[in-house]
Amino acid sequence: MARKYFIAGNWKMNKTAKQAAELAKGLVASVGAVDKVDVAICPTFTSLAAAGKEIAGSKIKLGAQNVYFEASGAFTGEISTEMLLEAGCTYVILGHSERREYFKESDEFINKKVCASINAGLKPILCVGETLAEREGNVTMDVVSRQTLLGLEGVCEVGIKSVVIAYEPVWAIGTGKTATPAMAQEVHAGIRAILAKKYGGEIASGVQILYGGSMKPDNAAELLAETDIDGGLIGGAALKVDSFAALINAAVAAK
């Protein structure tokens, strides 16, 4: 099954609403008409409206960086799926390594958010990946398998078609280190094999699996050339028009 490349920008805790609007406007001017590659930007909650207004009518989709699994109620500081949909979101990032590390989110907690998102009509970008200690301990696939299977607990064959997986080797995020294309491909292929065992080969072949470990314009072509790497969940390089556009153009060229 043919899969489109997908370049998604995780802006993390960066950009005020005004700055987000400026960046989004620049991206629309540069790559807003690209349709050979799926593109999404994921600003902070307070910048969703401003960025969403700028990308309206373009090919760029809007995503959020988190969501809570309850529909409403006394959950101070949280945000619901309905709120994200009303803001124009298509995607939501879940299980990012920073959420797991700093906010102690468990696989079971993340799974509740994955299921709530799918049920609401949002497309989860489920992040999985190992720490440096886990890689050096040769348990990478054990960790990734656990995070993938527990994160997708209860997700049916229809639901998985809405899910994007992002493999993010934690040791390669913000450190300047990057897994070699062969290292990344090995894990991506392993994730697809896990999906194939759970859902069957045909469904697994249609799931986009992104690389989330410091993909940059100078290494994108090599990474995207690998069979099971379907794009990137981009951090720092997503915060500037030129570098994010370069990644999208690299994905277009890779097709």
Phi, psi of 58 (to 5 degrees): -95, 180
Phi, psi of 240 (to 5 degrees): -135, 140
Nearest CA-CA partner of 96 in 129, 64, 120, 73: 129
| Catalytic, out of 98, 130, 168, 226 | 168
- Residues belonging to the chain: 255
CB 211 within 8 A of CB 232: yes
Nearest CA-CA partner of 124 in 23, 202, 207: 207
Q: ∠ CA 158-161-167 to the nearest 5 degrees?
A: 135
Quick check: is 96 catalytic? Answer: yes
| Catalytic, out of 96, 105, 130, 226 | 96
Task: Collect all residues with Cβ–Cβ distance below 8 Å to 122 and sequence separation of at least 6.
Answer: 67, 81, 84, 85, 89, 90, 91, 92, 162
Task: Collect all residues with Cβ–Cβ distance below 8 Å to 125 and sequence separation of at least 6.
Answer: 8, 63, 91, 92, 93, 94, 164, 165, 166, 210, 233
* Residues noted as catalytic: 96, 168
